[in-house]
Structure 1
């Protein structure tokens, strides 16, 4: 595939608002998980809650979109001058040539939970101020981002469980390569709600302590929330990318459909996605300097991912940033793509927070101390329920693959 430029990117999570907060936390090996204090959630677990979401006032004219998920999206768009950079892209290409591709899993379902609690006791009717289409509907966050940024290009929401925030990169790439758009706002937004917290609790997948990806004693996930965005653009034809530019080099997607909620035990679907991502990037496993693992901290998921990696890589440094942020579900792929972009831009490998004793049986080189490293390409994995898998390869502008177009993608 032709490399695409991540000209701007931003992330808001329990680590803080914007890139500076995220970078400081990852370099300093600090997590943002806290004991669960989410409203009406009486659960013995830890969560990655974003502070101040309830205080966000929706922009004038967009009040019908008011829900926790879209407030979080607006908060994210306001960081690092991201919305202004999108406006500059509109000035360059035109509003009809900038697309929107947003991943989410539960969207604004919290708004529906609250609406049911206040429904009419006699008729069961929901409150008249409840706007399903603009809040709970999975497309609402894509519609909100499109409206907030005054875009007129194609817009879609991707809801493929925990691969959603990564798959948006593949959808946008196909639209750009087809010539339908010149640029795309891609990202993932997912917010805390009772449906998610109690749903994972019913599956017995919540840990009672901050999650420990790839640890020998790992025992479940910590759920977080996040809004992460990137602006994808074609590389200028008449100039080489800057050395520290971050490029989307490869995308791999697969669906192994092994089980509704468990991955293939040998990680065959994950391996297929990784192989495709490397092939479209024109790289080999030896070219990857760091792997941002899906790393949910459940026994079966980490084991399956470990087997997929062991079949392809030889001691490549890796870690899961979910130990710091929690599992942000439909936003995870986008949030972790931003983490990978920061690792490339700043040339460092982030440690896996909370993990103290990596499971040696998984056969991966799990990093316990953040360190500087001359890395030119990073792999970021995102795998979801139902066997929906996506892997991304990002690289530096100075890397060997920056100007390479594999023959199979011509």
Structure 2
């Protein structure tokens, strides 16, 4: 696999809007989690809610796409000058030669929930929500395709929590095959009742801030986020690169990982093979690390078996929660920031490590020269993806 340049990237999370806010939160170990205040009957948990999203509004030209998910997409798209850089790429290559590869696990389902809660007497959606564009899984792609003016492949991926890691693999394949010359990849997911109460029904939601890899962990905190990246075949030497990707689908169980981490191992091995690297060349691993009992046990054990003690590993979900379909790209951005800043984040909120953890998993942040980072995203149903990134030349 020829490395692909990442010429622009951004993320908006509960830690703030854009890369600087995220890096500052990581460096200062400041969490964006807060007691749940979402919805008319909030569950007793913590959430990663993007501050001020309710005060945002789409420009009038895009009002037909108005919903929480698309508002967050617009907020994230305008951070770090990303919208301008993406439009410049469309102008440079031509609208037909730029792919738009997006990911979400819930799309704009929050708007559909609201519509059903406000049915009229004749059982119709209220007039302000009779907009088909916000009631289908491709709502995000439809909105952003119009905003960016792309006419190349436009795909929406929904493979649960691996969704916005898989778009990097899709982009590399399309670039390598010559179908496109550049790809805008992204992931956006917002809080909604279906997600909060659905995960609560699975007994996976923690009543306290999540504690990845801690023996006293009690489950996940849900969050919302938007992240985007621009991928091109060639970039400046100082641009970071996607060196490899790996995907697998072990289909072991609807919501529980394979007990030996078979699918996760296959994804990691494939990513390293495409990158032409061995496990001992990885400097930092951003774990999927949801703080659920089984995920952390299986993933930590796999890392202990596959990687040397010198590799640093952590879960960063203690900062913004589990952002589901946006988790892959948010944690890819964290890896890129880690490489750029020479910062390996630890596991925020965690006080000790589960005995299954090896020496790779760290509680505290560490400053070190990092060259290679691996990001893991493992979704329900055994949808697994791993990405390998390399720091740009300095």
TM-score where L is the length of structure 1? 0.94
CA deviation string 1:134-192 (max 9, x = no partner) = 22322111121111112111111000000001001011111111111111110110000
Ranges in structure 2 where 5+ consecutive residues have no aligned partner: none
SS where residue 124 of structure 1 aligns?
coil
* Corresponding residue number in structure 1 for 2:365: 370
Inter-partner Cα distance in structure 1 for 2:290 and 2:90:
37
Choose the corresponding residue for 1:274, options 261, 268, 272.
Answer: 268
Partner of 1:80: 80
CA distance in 2, matches of 1:37, 1:197: 12
Structure 1 residues without counterparts, runs of 5 or longer: 400-410
Instruction: Summarize deviations over 1:366-386 as a string: whole Å, max 9, x none.
Output: 222222111110000000000
Structure 2 CA distance for partners of 1:131 and 1:189, relative to 1, 3 Å: farther
Contact preservation (8 Å) 1:224, 1:326: yes
Query: Counterpart of 1:358?
Result: 353
1:215–1:89 Cα change, 3 Å: same
Q: State the match for 2:284 in structure 1.
A: 290
- Structure 1 distance, partners of 2:144, 2:390, is 27
Does structure 1 residue 199 correspond to structure 2 residue 198?
Answer: yes
Task: Indicate if the aligned counterparts of 1:110 and 1:136 stay in contact, CA closer than 8 A.
Answer: no
CA displacement 1:255-297 (0-9 Å, x = unmatched): 0000011000110100000000000000000110000000000
2:331 corresponds to: 336
Q: Could you tell me whether the CA contact under 8 Å between 1:247 and 1:394 is conserved in 2?
A: yes
1:139 is matched with 138
Equivalent position of 2:253 in the other structure: 259
Q: Which SS does the other structure have where 2:179 is aligned?
A: coil
- Residue of structure 1 equivalent to 2:62: 62
What's 1:406 paired with? Answer: none
Pair 1:300 & 2:294 matched: yes
Determine the C-alpha separation between the residues in 2 that align with 1:165 and 1:311.
26
* Aligned alpha-carbon RMSD (Å): 1.3
Paired residues of 2:286 and 2:316 also in contact (CA < 8 A): yes
> For residue 11 of structure 1, what is the aligned residue in structure 2?
11
2:48 maps to 48
SS in structure 1 at match of 2:375: strand
1:364 positional shift: 4.6
- The aligned length equals 393
Shift of 1:214: 0.6
1:383 pairs with 355, 378, 392, which one?
378
Q: Which residue of 2 aligns with 1:109?
A: 109
Residue 360 of structure 1, CA deviation: 2.4
Cα offsets for 1:335-391 (capped at 9, x unmatched): 000000000111111121111101122325222222211111000000000000000
The answer on whether the counterparts of 1:41 and 1:197 sit within 8 Å (CA) in structure 2 is no
**Residues 46 and 223 of structure 1 are in contact (CA less than 8 Å); yes or no, is this contact kept in structure 2?**
yes
| Distance (whole Å) between structure 2 residues aligned to residue 365 and residue 283 of structure 1 | 18
Displaced runs of 4 or more, over 3 A: none
| 370-379 or 246-255: bigger deviation | 370-379
CA–CA distance in structure 2, aligned partners of residues 274 and 168 of structure 1: 16
For the 8 Å contact 1:112–1:132, the answer to whether it is kept is no
Tell which deviates more after alignment, 362-371 or 108-117: 362-371
Tell me what 1:29 maps to: 29
Distance in 1 (alpha carbons) for counterparts of 2:27 and 2:343? 8
- C-alpha deviation, 1:132, in angstroms: 5.6
Q: 2:245, 2:274 within 8 Å by CA — same for their partners in 1?
A: yes
Q: Hey, what's the Cα distance between the residues in 1 that align with 2:152 and 2:367?
A: 40
User: Residue 190 of structure 1 contacts residue 227 of structure 1 at CA under 8 Å; is this kept in 2?
Assistant: yes
Aligned to 2:174: 175
Contact kept, 8 Å, 2:64 with 2:131, in 1: the verdict is: no
Cα distance in 1, alignment partners of residues 268 and 130 from structure 2:
40
Whether the aligned pair in 2 keeps the contact of 1:270 and 1:383 (CA below 8 Å) is yes
Distance 1:131 1:226 in 2: 26
TM-score, length basis structure 2: 0.97
SS in 2 for 1:283: coil
Could you list the per-position Cα deviations for residues 300-336 of structure 1 after superposition, in whole angstroms to 9, with x for gaps in the alignment?
0111112222231112211111011100000000000
